Amino acid sequence: MSVFLVFTIFCLLYFAVLGVEIDDCKPTRCMKHGPTIRFPFRDKNRSPQHCGYPGFDVLCNESKETVLELPFSVQVAVKKINYVLQQVDLYDPEKCLVKKLPHLNLSTSPLQFLSTEKWDFILVNCSDASRRGLFYSFPCLGDSSSHFLAITESEWDNVGSLDLTSCTRLHKVYVPYNVRNEKYLHLRWSEPACSGCEAKGKWCRLSSKSTSGGHQIQCVHKPNTTRASMGPMVGGAALGSCLFVTILASLVLLYISFRSERQNHIKIEKFLEDYRALKPTRFSYSDITRITRKFSEKLGEGGYGIVYKGRLSNRIDVAVKLLHNSKGNGEEFVNEVSTIGRIHHVNIVRLLGFCAEGSKRALVYEFLPNDSLEKFIFRSAKTSLGWRNLRDITLGIARGIKYLHEGCDQQILHFDIKPHNILLDRNFGPKICDFGLAKLCSKEQSGVTMTIARGTMGYIAPEVLSRTFGRASYKSDVYSFGMMVLEMVGGRKNVDPNVKTSQVFFPQWVYNRLDSEFGEDFWARVEDGENGSIAKRLTIVGLWCIQWSPNDRPSMKEVVVMLEGSEESLVIPPNPFAATDGTSSVAGIIQGRHRHHQIELPSIQESEYFSA
């Protein structure tokens, strides 16, 4: 693969250099004797954008006339281009140039009238043919019953005793005086200034130093006919060689990819065959397309796929996660369906169905309108949750994890508990989601073997990162839960780079004040009465859950008891941290918590609906 990539880069570099020699901006014509089209003009249908200057685009119509596009969609044909004098003569292919005048506005065009003497003309429509002798008429605009005349504004103001009751004023145009007597419109341009290059016998083109803020030009030699004819031959031979090798390498890679994808497909189909008794609804890919209305409403995107909003035929809103083909070799899909597909709990998101059709895989979940917990608990949240809501949400999450650990035939270890993976229903009831990293193990096992660390930094238990702290087990989910609870209490990430070094690790900062001489003042200022008690209870539970040793952490069953019991029964846990002396004002932080229902510290927000 790396050799193929290097070869492809080499080919691209080669043709980039070759492109300097082989000019892709050669002059063109629409017809044999038509005007030559070259810089600053370009044929927009045949030449790259860098071959021309903004405002000078032309095209060839069906009659092979050279048509210039002016502002406001005005199109006129080009009769002649003088590149030395920087002038262009235009005409109307329909032989009625005056018809274009009401729509002609050159204020935004690099092209301007050649004549600097311009007049205000008024176009009038007269039903009386006798009026035609008074002013300059335009037969091409009228018919037997209407006659169009052009009158200068001064003539209009001085018509005096003339009877113009049969005439209707139409438009006022500001054009050179002689335009009403000629078939051609003469324009000039000052930018780009190429007359100097033309005087030296050279041509003009955009400089490679041009930026989005401005366009620079440079003089270049006229192309050499012999050299230009050899270029395609040399380039063609080199291109042929590169294409042959590239196609051959692509075929080999496609074969390898096809074989790998086929193995993944067989793996998933075998799993689904074994899973028939418990499987949710299986959808076809056409069903998924219909449910999501052709993937019209995107909810979020992450490492494993994109999530779209959809609706089932029974008017139930759903969230559809379309999995990336390159992620997990089917492991994400199998983990989700094998774990969440077999359980039903009020605090676990429900898997309604799935799709496995060739390389296309999707998961269909119940739709939860309030997005994730992460959206509400940090300082930047537009809507904050009160302490009672935080308590109820924490208890619901704890019950959901307890069910995963104890309520199924096998233990389900989530390994990615964090605010982003807690979704909230219409009544802010929590539901655990995203089982892509989950593992199944028997309840008799003391732990599971981890080949690589699983989870999100900041929530990963020490034993998941290193066997020094023990084996990964259900206690690893307890640790992640504890970190999340402390974030809910503090309203900030557990590691915040924007605070002083001695206060960076928030759980340690809280513990140092939990039982200090400031402790009573700390909790009293959170909010009076019941809310202060809730904050203290959640903090103590969170600190118990993040003990370094898995043996010192409670089970989720014990956590539920602690959350439902009385405050007097709670015991402050051992200190798992090194002693620090935080110096910031406790009162200031607590007052911020009182104002916003969460401590006023920066946070990092994610926009994904699931950690897809």
**Domains recognised in the chain with CATH numbers:** 24-222 (no CATH), 275-366 (3.30.200.20), 374-596 (1.10.510.10)
Q: How confident is the model at residue 290 (pLDDT cuts 50, 70, 90)?
A: very high
Q: Are 90 and 184 in contact (CB under 8 A)?
A: yes
* Per-residue pLDDT, 178: 60
Q: Mapped to the 3 state alphabet, what secondary structure does 38-72 carry?
A: CCCCEECCCCCHHHCCCCCEEEECCCCCEEEEEHH
Is 70 exceeded by the pLDDT of residue 117? no
When pLDDT is cut at 50, 70 and 90, the band that residue 232 belongs to is low
pLDDT one-digit tens code per residue, 148-190: 556 666 666 666 555 666 677 777 776 665 665 667 888 899 8
Residues 563-576 have a mean pLDDT of 82
Looking at residue 150, its pLDDT comes to 65
Say if residue 219's pLDDT is above 90. Answer: no
Q: For residues 410 and 426, what is the distance between their CA atoms, to the nearest angstrom?
A: 31
Instruction: Tell me the pLDDT band of 427, cut-offs 50, 70 and 90.
Output: very high
* pLDDT value at 611 more than 80: no
Q: What is the DSSP letter of 372?
A: B
H-type alpha helices, 319-426: 331-340, 374-377, 387-406
The token duo for 385 is 């949750």
> How much is the pLDDT for 422?
94
Catalytic residue among 416, 434, 477, 496: 416
- Residue, of 593 and 207, whose pLDDT is higher: 207
pLDDT given at position 277: 45
Q: What is the pLDDT of residue 419?
A: 93
Are the C-beta atoms of 545 and 476 separated by less than 8 Å? no
pLDDT for 284 beyond 90 = yes
Whether 452 shows a pLDDT value over 80: the answer reads: no
- Amino acid 136: pLDDT: 61
Can you give the pLDDT at residue 607?
31
Helix (H, G, I), strand (E, B) or coil at 423: strand
End-to-end CA, the chain: 27
What mean pLDDT is predicted for residues 99-123?
77
Q: For residues 109 and 84, give the distance between their C-alpha atoms in angstroms, rounded to a whole number.
A: 20
Please give the pLDDT value at position 131: 56
Which residue spans within 378-474 are E strands per DSSP?
Answer: 411-413, 422-424, 430-432, 439-441
Q: How would you class 272 by CB atoms within 10 Å of its CB: exposed for 0-12, middle for 13-18, buried for 19 or more?
A: middle
Least confident of 11-15, 212-216, 432-436, 484-488: 11-15
pLDDT at 226 over 80: no
Q: Is the pLDDT of residue 294 over 90?
A: yes
Name the burial class of residue 399, with classes exposed (0-12), middle (13-18) and buried (19+) by CB atoms within 10 angstroms of its CB: buried
- 157 part of the active site: no
**Rounded to an integer, what distance in angstroms lies between the CA atom of residue 505 and that of residue 4?**
47
According to the model, what pLDDT value does residue 525 have? 45
321 among annotated binding-site residues: yes
* CA 445 to chain CA centroid, nearest Å: 44
| Most confident listed range (234-243, 398-407, 460-469) | 398-407
Cα–Cα nearest to 551, from 438, 455, 475: 475
Q: What mean pLDDT do residues 319-328 have?
A: 76
pLDDT score at 605: 31
pLDDT tens digits, one per residue of 56-71? 999 999 889 999 988 8
The confidence score (pLDDT) of residue 312 equals 87
Kindly give the pairing relationship between strand 305-311 and strand 298-301: antiparallel
